[in-house]
Amino acid sequence: MMPIKAILFDFDGTLAELNVDFIRMRKAVLDLMSNYCSVPDNIKDCYVLEMIDAGKELVFKNNPGRENDFFKKAHELICHIETAGSKKGRLLAGTREVLQLLREKRVKTGIVTRNCMAAIKQLFPDIDLHCDAVITREFTTQVKPHPIHLLTALDALDTDAHSAAMVGDHPMDITAGREAGTYTIGVLTGYSGFAALRDAGADMIIEKAADIPQVL
């Protein structure tokens, strides 16, 4: 592996136990949407943030003037569910230690998550002391799998993509890393198994993020 100057970490399923109730969030958004317009089947398979964006467009077409109301309420709903989830959640063993060790090795660290800041801070209140940049969805123009999310974090860390690695549990972490131009590392502590991360094109797959110092 080339010298790595910065590591970007996904949060849920990578540094913290996966505690986001995606099924409940999708259902809550679909239920809300049905108050504004009829809900087409093809929207039901979207990830929740994309579902809200698509819903806003639909409400605009079918019920113009109500789209911002829908959008705001949908975000309040999912933020509520995420924050409730993080109340029950906890960091994976070794998270603080690995971040500390990377700092001692002068490797910068960043968090790249689609989750909201309130949920992250609730679970990891001292995150700013351990990471050099925390880019939740509020702080990027487009979220993963769009590479802009990672490039925003790399910009904050003043590091080029080819000197950085993206670490995550979901195929979209790998996809986003590849498109941004980072080295990509899949971990098996969350959403995906080995095959899904390999098929997404991960350069390396390890059991857990806490093992990073051993492979750098």
Q: Kindly list the residues in this chain that would bind Mg ion in the complex (CB under 5 A).
A: 10, 12-13, 169-170
* DSSP secondary structure letter of residue 3: P
CB-nearest residue to Mg ion = 13
Q: Please, what is the minimum distance in Å from the beta carbon of residue 171 to Mg ion?
A: 10
Q: Please, what is the minimum distance in Å from the beta carbon of residue 169 to Mg ion?
A: 4
Contact present, 209 and 8 (Cβ < 8 Å): no
Integer angstrom CA distances of residue 207 from 15, 117, 166: 12, 26, 15
Tell me whether residue 164 or residue 187 sits nearer to Mg ion (CB atom).
187
Integer angstrom CA distances of residue 200 from 9, 170, 178, 185: 17, 9, 9, 11
Contact present, 173 and 191 (Cβ < 8 Å): no
Tell me whether residue 17 or residue 169 sits nearer to Mg ion (CB atom).
169
Tell me whether residue 159 or residue 192 sits nearer to Mg ion (CB atom).
192
27 three-class SS: helix
Tell me whether residue 55 or residue 190 sits nearer to Mg ion (CB atom).
190
* DSSP secondary structure letter of residue 143: -
Q: Please, what is the minimum distance in Å from the beta carbon of residue 115 to Mg ion?
A: 9
Pairing assessment for the beta strands 164-168 and 108-112 based on DSSP bridges: unpaired
Q: Please, what is the minimum distance in Å from the beta carbon of residue 153 to Mg ion?
A: 15
